[in-house]
C-alpha cells in the first residue's frame, strides 16, 4: 500500500513547499504576476501560483515548440484519459487529465509569449478543448454505465457542450456575455 500512496504524497509535499515559496515571494513583491489571466473561481492569486509553477517549463518551450503541437498533445492526453477512465484506471486518468490541463494552459501562453497567436490556432485550441472534454466524459460514461452516477457524467457532458453552444450562439446574435 505504501508504494501506491508514496508518489502522490511526495508530489503533494512538493506542491505545498512550492506554494509556501510562492507565498513568501508574493509577500515580498518578488513575483511579476499581477495581471495574470484567471477565472472567478480561483482568482489571480492561485492563477498566479499555477503560472509561476509552470514558468520554468514555459520558458524552455517558447520558440522551440509550436503551440499547436502542445494543443494536439493535450488532446491526445485527454483521449488517453478517457481510455484509462473507461477501463477503471482512475488514478492514471487523473494524472493524465492533470497533465493535459497543464498543457492546455501552456499552449495559449506559448502562443501569446512567442507572438504566434493566429485565428487558426485559437480555433484549433477551442475545438481541441471540446473534443478533449468529450473524450474524458466518454471514458467516465463507459466506466459508470451501470451506476446511478452516470447521470452526473451525462449532466457534465451536456453542460460542457452547452457552454460552447451558448457562447457561439450569443456571439452570432450580437449578444454580449
Residue range 35-64, pLDDT digits in tens:
666 666 777 888 888 888 888 999 999 989
Distance CA 134, CA 139 (A): 9
DSSP 8-state class, residue 147: S
What CA–CA distances, in Å, run from 32 to 18, 22, 28, 49? 16, 11, 11, 11
Q: What is the pTM of this model?
A: 0.82
Confidence at residue 99, expressed as pLDDT on a 0 to 100 scale: 94
Q: Is the pLDDT of residue 65 over 80?
A: yes
Q: Read off the C-alpha cell for 130.
A: 471540446
pLDDT at 2 over 70: no
Residues 160, 17: Cα–Cα separation, whole Å: 34
Q: Write the pLDDT tens digit of every residue in 78-130.
A: 999 999 999 999 999 999 999 999 999 999 999 998 999 999 999 999 999 99
User: Does an H or E element contain 74, and which?
Assistant: helix 67-86
Average pLDDT in the chain: 90
Q: What pLDDT is stored for residue 33 in this prediction?
A: 65
Amino acid at each position: 500500500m505504501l508504494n501506491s500512496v508514496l508518489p502522490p504524497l511526495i508530489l503533494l509535499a512538493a506542491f505545498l513547499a512550492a506554494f509556501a515559496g510562492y507565498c513568501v515571494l508574493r509577500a515580498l513583491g518578488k513575483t511579476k504576476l499581477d495581471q495574470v489571466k484567471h477565472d472567478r473561481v480561483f482568482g489571480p492569486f492561485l492563477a498566479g501560483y499555477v503560472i509561476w509553477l509552470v514558468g520554468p517549463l514555459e520558458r524552455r518551450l517558447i520558440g522551440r515548440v509550436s503551440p499547436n503541437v502542445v494543443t494536439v498533445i493535450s488532446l491526445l492526453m485527454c483521449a488517453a484519459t478517457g481510455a484509462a477512465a473507461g477501463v477503471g484506471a482512475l488514478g492514471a486518468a487523473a494524472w493524465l487529465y492533470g497533465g493535459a490541463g497543464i498543457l492546455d494552459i501552456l499552449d495559449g501562453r506559448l502562443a501569446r509569449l512567442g507572438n504566434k497567436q493566429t485565428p487558426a490556432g485559437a480555433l484549433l485550441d477551442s475545438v481541441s478543448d471540446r473534443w478533449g472534454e468529450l473524450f474524458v466524459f466518454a471514458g467516465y460514461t463507459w466506466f459508470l454505465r451501470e451506476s446511478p452516477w452516470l447521470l452526473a457524467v451525462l449532466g457534465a457532458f451536456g453542460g460542457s457542450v452547452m457552454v460552447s453552444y451558448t457562447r457561439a450562439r450569443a456571439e452570432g446574435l450580437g449578444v454580449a456575455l
